[in-house]
Structure 1
Amino acid sequence: MKTPATLRADAEAQAARFPDLLARAEHLAGAVLLGAHGRRRAGVGDDFWQYRPAQAGDSRRRIDYRRSAMGDQEFVREREWQIAQSVMLWVDQGASMRFSSDVKLPQKIDRARLLGLAVAIMLQRGGERVGLTGTALPPRSGRPQILRLAEMFCKDDPADYAPPEHRAMVPHARALFISDFMGNLEGVTLALTKAADRGVRGVLCHLLDPSEEAFPFSGRTIFQSIGGTLSHETLKASDLKSRYLERLAERKSELQRLCALTGWHYGVHHTNASAQSALLWLYSALDTRAGMAA
């Protein structure tokens, strides 16, 4: 049991990360927004979006005769879609995510939190509602919601592997799961199945440290989980490489298969790659117009 002094120290450590995470996420989102085209799409609304050539089935009332009079073709005036989309996030905060193979690389959890919050900022600026899976923080719009998300993202989960929350999925919403998916996949399968039953589509971001792809170990090695609950010692780590890489490939294949069955999008991101490139991909994949093939 934690003493009041220990609890206060832990709380202060969590609070110290909050403004730094928020500042970095806003900077990353701002850099990407400079070159992004946003989530604008045709639909019901008040604001003009674009002209497009008239097609068979278009109502005559939608034709803009002033624009059509400028040439030989009839044009329809489209308005911008203004119904906010609910997007639910799950960022794995289990102990396995607190790993980095090099001091020059961010921990997986640091990159996951940064990407999750930056996506939320971009979505919020685009008029969408953003929240967490489960009941702790339902999707809402506005700046205060971003502050709540940043605070929630700074809380570590003591478990080695934290399963995604599958409760309270908003029907026909979008979702983003960011994890190393090193634990049992039963929780992931349950969450995606529940989501699919409610018409929720989304993105699985498989986040890995580069050493977890290359397995650069040899000789006597002790493998231990970050939480300390699992440990394995070997005198010839290199003998495990082929089996490990085979298991990792099977894990990726299983996640891809699960995404294909439930209509989700699957992608891999490594912590030595650019966070900006990952953010662009995630933001695009979450767009309802984006293709969902893995």
Structure 2
Amino acid sequence: MNNPATLRATAEDQAARFPALLARAEHLAGAVLLGAHGRRRAGVGDDFWQYRPAQQGDSRRRIDHRRSAMGDQEFVREREWQIAQSVMLWVDQGASMRFRSDPKLPEKADRARLLGLAVAILLQRGGERVGLTGTALPPRSGTPQILRLAEAFCLDDATDYAPPEHRAMIPHARAVFISDFMGDLDGVTLALTKAADRGVRGVLCHVLDPSEEAFPFTGRTIFESMGGTISHETLKANDLKSRYLERLAERKAELQRLCALTGWHYGLHHTNASAQSALLWLYSALDTRTGAAA
């Protein structure tokens, strides 16, 4: 049975994260200009978006005669797409995400939560509905939904490696998975396969600590999982470097292969890099018009 004092301390710690995460996500989202995504797409709506040259197959009724009269070319008046889209988020809360190699660096979980909430804020401002994968928090619009997401992102998962949630995928929606993807890839494969079957396209954001990329360990080293379930001691850590880097490269290649097969985008982000640049890429990759890739 859990100790009441421990439960209270844990609850207070999680509650303390909530306002700080929300403030940082709002600040980060504010640094990204709207307009490259969200409702700024051609489609059904009342608001003017842009003029474009008429193309073969365009109905004559779509020609804007006033704009066309200004020159020798016919133009079509396009409107904004005002049908809000649904975007489902999965941010890995597993224990492995609580790793950082240096106190000056953010934990992988902290960076993942920040990016997840910031992109949700941008999507919500662009007229999208955002929520979590699964059934706990279906996509909705409005500021209260952002508060619910921030609260959900502040909860930790006790497992070492949390698999992505694949239930209740909304047909033809979009999705964002943010994780270190250090666990078994079967869960990722299942989630992306089910998403593809329902016409869901999205983005995998692979978050790593720089030490996980460089493997700077030498001599006697004890490697332990953040959840304490796995431990390995070696006297010559440097002898493991080439094998580790080879397996990491294989994992990246497998994630990229999965994304290519299912129509998703793959992006790699290190916690010592700019969160703003990662958000810009993530936001752009979600735009179905750009075909962005990392």
TM class by smaller structure: over 0.9
Residue matched to 2:128: 128
Deviations 1:253-294 (A, max 9, x none): 111111111111111000010000000000010111131667
**Contact 1:97/1:107, CA 8 A, preserved across alignment:** yes
What does residue range 67-106 of structure 1 map to in structure 2 within 5 Å?
67-106=67-106
Figure out how many residues of one structure are paired with residues of the other and give that number.
293
Deviations 1:167-196 (A, max 9, x none): 000000000000000000111111111111
Residue matched to 1:198: 198
1:76 shift after superposition: 1.0
Residue matched to 1:44: 44
Residue matched to 1:249: 249
Deviations 1:37-93 (A, max 9, x none): 343111110000111111111111111111111111111111111111100000001
Taking the aligned partners of 1:33 and 1:25, their CA distance within structure 2 comes to 14
Judge which range, 238-247 or 56-65, deviates more.
56-65
Residue matched to 2:155: 155
For the residue of structure 1 that corresponds to 2:240, the secondary structure is: helix
1:245 shift after superposition: 0.2
**Contact 1:33/1:122, CA 8 A, preserved across alignment:** no
Is the alpha carbon distance of 1:257 and 1:38 closer, same or farther for their aligned partners in structure 2, counting shifts above 3 Å? closer
**Contact 2:64/2:74, CA 8 A, preserved across alignment:** yes
What does residue range 261-272 of structure 1 map to in structure 2 within 5 Å?
261-272=261-272
Matching residue's letter, 1:135: T
Structure 1 unaligned spans of 5+: none
For the residue of structure 2 that corresponds to 1:89, the secondary structure is: strand
1:105 shift after superposition: 0.6
Structure 1 residue ranges, 4+ long, deviating more than 6 angstroms after superposition: none
Structure 2 unaligned spans of 5+: none
What does residue range 59-70 of structure 1 map to in structure 2 within 5 Å?
59-70=59-70
**Contact 2:284/2:292, CA 8 A, preserved across alignment:** no
Residue matched to 1:185: 185
**Contact 1:260/1:293, CA 8 A, preserved across alignment:** no
Residue matched to 2:145: 145
1:33 shift after superposition: 2.3
Matching residue's letter, 2:149: L
1:5 shift after superposition: 2.6
The normalised TM-score by structure 1 is: 0.97
**Contact 1:116/1:178, CA 8 A, preserved across alignment:** yes
